[in-house]
Amino acid sequence: MFIEKDLNISKAGIIEVIAGSMFSGKTEELIRRLRRAMIARQKVEIFKPKIDVRYSDREVVSHDDNSILSTPVENSGNIILLSGNVEVVGIDEAQFFDIGLIDVVNKLANAGMRIIIAGLDMDFNGKPFGPMPQLMAIADHITKVHAICVRCGSIAQFSHRLREKEQVVLLGEKEVYEPLCRSCFLITRH
């Protein structure tokens, strides 16, 4: 009978993805999970895209003003360089990272780390956003969180942009986006 030790296989890590629309609590859930890992005395490192300076240059901040210190990085390759000697890696706003994030996350998980990723699953057009679809495909666990539609009170899964801009990446908050359910989102498209 073979056992793991005999095969020289180390324990693999895990990939968790928290996905949803804006104002759905993705970052709040990411911070909650990372704080629990810290309470458990695990070595934690948190990353966010350098372009996300809405609330803070150095912190991941939720819409409810909860925050946790992070390392802003230019691209996904920096995450692998800065993740040595940690047990848990948190990544916020994953949709803003390059497609190389998928390989980075796989490598870290294969090296035994727990990876917790939060990001928008769809852009303002309702289309899959950045590397999020592929991250959800390789995830061991996916948590889909929802906001509340500001127009009818139903469960919202769309981030509707209030301003007419064509670029996909437009950083903003309640003055630029609102969460909508499918019905209300479709009404805005006509």
Condensed to tens digits (0 to 9), the pLDDT of residues 27-60 reads 999 999 999 999 999 999 999 988 764 555 565 6
Q: What's the number of domains the chain is made of?
A: 1
Residue 31 lies in a domain: yes
Residue 170 lies in a domain: no
Q: Which structural domain, as residue segments, surrounds residue 28?
A: 10-145
Mean pLDDT score, 131-139:
98
Q: What is the pLDDT of residues 63-91, one digit of tens each?
A: 566 666 678 899 999 999 999 889 999 99
Residue 47 lies in a domain: yes
Residue 151 lies in a domain: no
Give the closest residue to 115 by CA, choosing from 12, 11, 10, 13: 13
Which residue among 29, 45, 93, 178 is the active-site one? 93
For residue 87, indicate whether it is catalytic: no
Residue 15 lies in a domain: yes
Residue 85 lies in a domain: yes
Give pLDDT, residue 15: 98
Give pLDDT, residue 65: 60
| Residue 24, domain CATH | 3.40.50.300
Give pLDDT, residue 1: 39
116: pLDDT strictly greater than 80: yes
Q: What is the pLDDT of residues 139-183, one digit of tens each?
A: 999 999 999 999 999 999 999 988 776 655 554 555 688 999 999
Residue 137: half-sphere exposure toward Cβ, Cα within 13 Å: 8
Residue 157 lies in a domain: no
Residue 29 lies in a domain: yes
